[in-house]
Amino acid sequence: MKKDQPLPIPIRPRRLRRTSGIRRLFSETEVAPSRLIAPLFVVDGLGKPEPIPSLPGHYRFPIPAILREAHRLARRGVGGIAIFPCISQNLRTPDAKEALNPKGLIYRAIHAIKKEFPHLPVFADVALDPYTSHGHDGLLNRTGSDVDNDTTVRLLMKQAVLLAGAGADFVAPSDMMDGRIGLIREALDQAAFPEVGILSYAAKFASSLYAPFRDAVGSSRSAGTSALDKRGYQADPGNRRAILRDALLDEREGADLLMVKPAGPYLDIVRDLRESTRLPLAAYQVSGEYSQIHAAAQKGWVDLRKARDESLLSIRRAGADLIFTYFAQDIERVRL
C-alpha cells in the first residue's frame, strides 16, 4: 500500500460530519424557540424592573413592564411564558390566604397578559411557597412539623380555579402533594374550565439548584434561608423507580403533560418518562443550572453560548418536548 493511499476503511462515519453544511443536513436534534417556555417574575408597582442578582439578565417585572417583555418574547417566537409572583413580605402568612385573593398580583398579571396577547400560552404555577411565611409549598400541620397534604390540596384546587379564571392556559401544580392532579382536574371541570390544561410537576426533586429561584420570588427570605428542607414532599434525588410511579399516577389522574425538574442532572428520568408515556414531556432547566453556566462563563472557564446550547440540546435529545429555561429570552435556534 502506497504511503498516501487511503486505508481500506469502507465505513467512515466522519463522512457525515465533514462540513458544517453536511453536519446540519444530518443533525438529529435541534431546539427551536417554539419549544422553549420563558419563566418571568412579576412584582407589584409601576417602577422599573428589578434586577435579580443570582439570575444574571433577569428581572422582577411590574405588570406594565412584563407586558413589554411578553411582547418581545412573542415576537421572538418563544413557545410560551410561565409567570411567578414575588409578593410583599407582609402579605405572606402561615395560611397563604393571599393565594386566594382574586385581586392578587398573579391574577392581575395573567389577566393583563392574556388580554394583550391572547394567543401566547401562559403557564401558571399552582403552589403556595410564594404566599407562605414559612416558605413551604403547602400549609403546615398543627404541630408545624410537616406539610399537611389534604389541607394543602383543598387550597390548591381553589387556586387553580382562580388561575384558570384569570386566563391561564395551563395550571402547573409544582407542590408534589399526593392526589392533587385528579382533584384539580375535577375542580376545573366543575368550575366550567374543561379547556384549561394541567402541567404536572410530576418529577420534582429536592434539589439544591432552586436557590436563585427562591431568591427571585422571595420565598427564601420568608423562610430565612435558601436551603429550606422540602424532602418530605419533593422527590429523593437518588430515587428512580419511585418518581416514575409518581409521574404515571399523575398521568392516570388526568395530567395533560408531565414535567421533570431539574433537567440537566436528571436526564435519565427524562428518558425514562419519554419511554413510559405518550403524554407531552417538559423539563425545567432550573435557576441553579442557568446561574452555574453564567458564573463559569464570567470566570472565563466556559464559553457561554456553547455551554448554553449544549445544555439545551442534551435536554431535548433526552426526550423533552418543551424546555422551561431562563435562556429562552436569548435563543434563536440551537443546532451545534
Q: How far apart are CA 270 and CA 316, in angstroms?
A: 9
ω into 262 cis (within 30 of 0): yes
Please tell me which residue in 114, 261, 299, 306 is annotated as part of the active site.
261
Q: Terminal CA-to-CA distance of the chain, rounded, Å? A: 38
**What cell was used for 93?**
402568612
Please tell me which residue in 2, 158, 204, 299 is annotated as part of the active site.
204
Residue 130 and residue 91 in contact, taking contact as beta carbons nearer than 8 Å: no
Of 250, 254, 249, 208, give the one whose Cα is nearest residue 231: 208
Long-range CB pairs of 304-309 (<8 Å, 24+ gap) are: 306/336, 308/334, 309/31, 309/334, 309/336
Q: How far apart are CA 309 and CA 312, in angstroms?
A: 5
Cβ contacts of 42 within 8 Å, gap of 6 or more: 60, 61, 62, 63, 66, 83, 84, 85, 86, 105, 106, 109
Reply yes or no on whether 306 is catalytic: no
Residue 124 and residue 111 in contact, taking contact as beta carbons nearer than 8 Å: no
Strands 281-285 and 322-325: parallel
Q: Active-site residues: which are they?
A: 204, 261
